[in-house]
């Protein structure tokens, strides 16, 4: 490593602490309202489930101005007060270390991986600082698969409303599953566990100064773990209470960031996914149970209107991206009444694959291409909502699984059309 990420004071503190078994990372940026709860949940989880392991809690803060780091210190209090369980036990140590640059997850994660490396930690768990649903059990669920079963990457499995996270369920999950052959239901998740070995592997990557690190670092980690043949699993964490953003006013920016990251990683790991057909389940640990989750409203008439307007206004772009048959079907969908509106799954998957191919060939400006997906995505959400309005969560999830199979079935087309070597126009 050519540049040390940590300040001298932090390095000195780590030297005094010596090796630890576990690191709990809590990235933060202006999370004063919630971080105290997250820290206390981490303390409780460590003392209840992992008391035989020496642990370090690290708050990696991106320059908060609302007193976040002070609340962390207040929540921790006297470390000796945490030693309340039977031997063998270790005190739970705590460290607040600033990270530099853009206050995004990538910078925070890189700092945490470096801390874990220096501490020779066997496992690292990271949780978001902005949640009210953080549970002490989460830390056991994220770390024990690494400690007891030698997994390298533990992805979260959340209980979500059927219309929450539809970018993930309609594009990110089925596409990454078809590409890399592992069924990780939440490849974008704020909570995860990694082995020390995988953390060291992440640190050697050149991703840290890219847009992927700024916007989609969790997705990059899941993809890199699978593409690198590390052992992956999922742990059921239950509900994840957050403010729904999807679909919403930041939809276009979100699509550019998330889908652009998926497409970029397709180029990075082309030699991996070209040789993968079908998919295998990633083990799901823990006990799923029914929970009440906040309903996500879907304004179907407005979404259908946005879809139809996009099909008309973006026709020149779509003519560059899509086949004549796909354009014909889009025109037909844009002309039917709201109550009958539907997009075929095969059409949707075909549109995503054609967009990925055009992105790779650089047929048009990449940002324009990604933004042009927004009306089509809104159409998909409206179609999915119409089909699942009276279905249970399990039935809706079955539809997503069938969509994944279509991504897998149509993947040979993607492989055959993907140009090798120099990028070329069709």
Any idea what the CATH number is for the domain that residue 35 is in?
Answer: 3.90.550.10
Query: What per-residue confidence (pLDDT) applies to 81?
Result: 26
The domain tally of the chain equals: 2
Task: Specify if 422 maps to a domain.
Answer: no
pLDDT band at 133 (very low <50, low <70, confident <90, very high): confident
Percent of the chain with pLDDT over 90: 60
- Specify whether 33 is located in the same domain as 176: yes
Task: Specify if 294 maps to a domain.
Answer: no
Task: Specify if 426 maps to a domain.
Answer: no
Query: What per-residue confidence (pLDDT) applies to 75?
Result: 80
Query: What per-residue confidence (pLDDT) applies to 251?
Result: 80
Q: Which domain-ending residue is among 285, 316, 341?
A: 285
Q: Which domain-ending residue is among 259, 285, 311?
A: 285
- Specify whether 126 is located in the same domain as 180: yes
- Specify whether 304 is located in the same domain as 279: no
- Specify whether 27 is located in the same domain as 105: yes
Mean pLDDT (whole number) for 4-24: 82
Of 125-134, 179-188, 378-387, the poorest mean pLDDT is in 125-134
**Which residues, other chains included, contact 262 with Cβ-Cβ below 8 Å and sequence gap of 6+?**
171, 172, 175, 176, 216, 219
Compute the distance between CA of residue 256 and CA of residue 288 in angstroms, rounded to an integer.
33
pLDDT band at 424 (very low <50, low <70, confident <90, very high): very low
Q: Which domain-ending residue is among 285, 315, 348?
A: 285
pLDDT band at 265 (very low <50, low <70, confident <90, very high): very high
- Specify whether 272 is located in the same domain as 153: yes
- Specify whether 281 is located in the same domain as 204: yes
- Specify whether 270 is located in the same domain as 333: no
Mean pLDDT (whole number) for 247-253: 64
Task: Specify if 132 maps to a domain.
Answer: yes
Has residue 247 got a pLDDT over 60? no
Compute the distance between CA of residue 34 and CA of residue 32 in angstroms, rounded to an integer.
6
Q: Are strands 182-183 and 280-281 parallel, antiparallel or unpaired?
A: parallel
- Specify whether 324 is located in the same domain as 274: no
| 366 within 8 A of 260, measured Cβ to Cβ | yes
pLDDT band at 17 (very low <50, low <70, confident <90, very high): confident
Candidates 13, 53, 58; CA nearest to 35 is: 58
Query: What per-residue confidence (pLDDT) applies to 240?
Result: 81
Please, what's the b/e burial string for 320-356 (b: 16 or more CB within 10 A of its CB; e: otherwise)? bbbeeeeeebbeebbeeeeeebebebebbbbbbbbbb
**Which residues, other chains included, contact 74 with Cβ-Cβ below 8 Å and sequence gap of 6+?**
36
Query: What per-residue confidence (pLDDT) applies to 375?
Result: 97
Mean pLDDT (whole number) for 94-115: 70
| 232 within 8 A of 225, measured Cβ to Cβ | yes
Of 36-40, 106-110, 144-148, the poorest mean pLDDT is in 106-110
Q: What is the pLDDT of residues 171-210, one digit of tens each?
A: 999 999 999 999 999 999 889 999 999 999 999 998 888 8
- Specify whether 57 is located in the same domain as 193: yes
pLDDT band at 170 (very low <50, low <70, confident <90, very high): very high
**Which residues, other chains included, contact 261 with Cβ-Cβ below 8 Å and sequence gap of 6+?**
211, 212, 215, 216, 219, 220
**Which H or E run includes 94?**
strand 92-98
Domain that holds residue 14: 8-285
CA atoms within 13 A on the CB side of 312: 7
Query: What per-residue confidence (pLDDT) applies to 1?
Result: 42
Query: What per-residue confidence (pLDDT) applies to 277?
Result: 95
Average pLDDT, the chain: 86
Task: Specify if 329 maps to a domain.
Answer: yes
Query: What per-residue confidence (pLDDT) applies to 91?
Result: 53
CA torsion sign for 296, 299, 300, 302 is negative
Task: Specify if 423 maps to a domain.
Answer: no
Strand partners, 280: 182
Which class for 304: exposed (0-12), middle (13-18), buried (19 or more C-beta within 10 A)?
buried
Has residue 422 got a pLDDT over 50? no
- Specify whether 184 is located in the same domain as 242: yes
- Specify whether 270 is located in the same domain as 325: no
Task: Specify if 425 maps to a domain.
Answer: no
Task: Specify if 242 maps to a domain.
Answer: yes
Has residue 85 got a pLDDT over 60? no
Query: What per-residue confidence (pLDDT) applies to 253?
Result: 85
Of 83-87, 101-105, 277-281, 307-311, the poorest mean pLDDT is in 83-87
Mean pLDDT (whole number) for 20-31: 89
Mean pLDDT (whole number) for 152-159: 94
- Specify whether 196 is located in the same domain as 271: yes
Query: What per-residue confidence (pLDDT) applies to 245?
Result: 42
Structure-token pair, residue 18: 């010596």
Q: What is the pLDDT of residues 351-381, one digit of tens each?
A: 999 999 999 999 899 999 999 999 999 999 9
């Amino acid at each position: 490593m050519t540049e040390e990420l940590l300040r001298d004071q932090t390095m000195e503190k780590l030297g005094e602490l010596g090796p630890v078994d576990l690191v709990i990372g809590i990235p933060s940026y202006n999370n004063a309202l919630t971080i105290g709860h997250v820290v206390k949940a981490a303390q409780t989880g460590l003392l209840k489930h992992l008391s035989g392991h020496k642990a370090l809690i690290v708050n990696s803060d991106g320059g908060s101005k609302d007193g976040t780091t002070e609340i962390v210190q207040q929540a921790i209090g006297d470390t000796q007060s945490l030693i309340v369980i039977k031997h063998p036990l270790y005190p739970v140590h705590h460290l607040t270390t600033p990270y530099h640059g853009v206050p995004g997850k990538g910078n925070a994660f890189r700092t945490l991986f470096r801390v874990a490396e220096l501490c020779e930690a066997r496992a690292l768990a990271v949780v978001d600082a902005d949640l009210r649903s953080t549970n002490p059990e989460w830390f056991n669920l994220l770390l024990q698969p690494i400690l007891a079963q030698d997994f390298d990457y533990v992805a979260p499995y959340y209980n979500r409303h059927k219309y929450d996270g539809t970018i993930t369920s309609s594009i990110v999950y089925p596409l990454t599953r078809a590409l890399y052959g592992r069924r990780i239901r939440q490849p974008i998740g704020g909570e995860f566990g990694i082995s020390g070995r995988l953390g060291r592997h992440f640190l050697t990557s050149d991703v840290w100064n890219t847009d992927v690190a700024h916007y989609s670092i969790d997705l990059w980690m899941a993809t890199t773990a699978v593409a690198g043949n590390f052992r992956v699993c999922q742990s059921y964490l239950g509900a994840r209470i957050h403010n729904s953003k999807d679909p919403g006013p930041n939809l276009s920016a979100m699509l550019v960031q998330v889908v652009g990251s998926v497409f970029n990683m397709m180029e990075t790991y082309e030699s991996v996914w070209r040789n993968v057909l079908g998919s295998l389940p990633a083990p799901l640990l823990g006990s799923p149970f029914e929970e009440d989750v906040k309903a996500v409203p879907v304004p179907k008439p407005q979404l259908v209107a946005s879809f139809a307007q996009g099909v008309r206004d973006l026709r020149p772009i779509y003519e560059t991206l899509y086949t004549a048959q796909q354009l014909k079907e889009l025109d037909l969908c844009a002309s039917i009444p709201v109550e009958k509106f539907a997009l075929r799954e095969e059409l949707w998957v075909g549109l995503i694959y054609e967009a990925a191919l055009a992105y790779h060939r650089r047929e048009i400006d990449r940002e324009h291409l990604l933004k042009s997906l927004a009306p089509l995505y809104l159409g998909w959400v409206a179609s999915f909502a119409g089909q699942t309005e009276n279905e249970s969560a399990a039935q809706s999830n079955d539809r997503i699984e069938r969509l994944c199979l279509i991504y897998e079935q149509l993947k040979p087309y993607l492989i055959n059309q993907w140009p090798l070597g120099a990028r070329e126009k069709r």
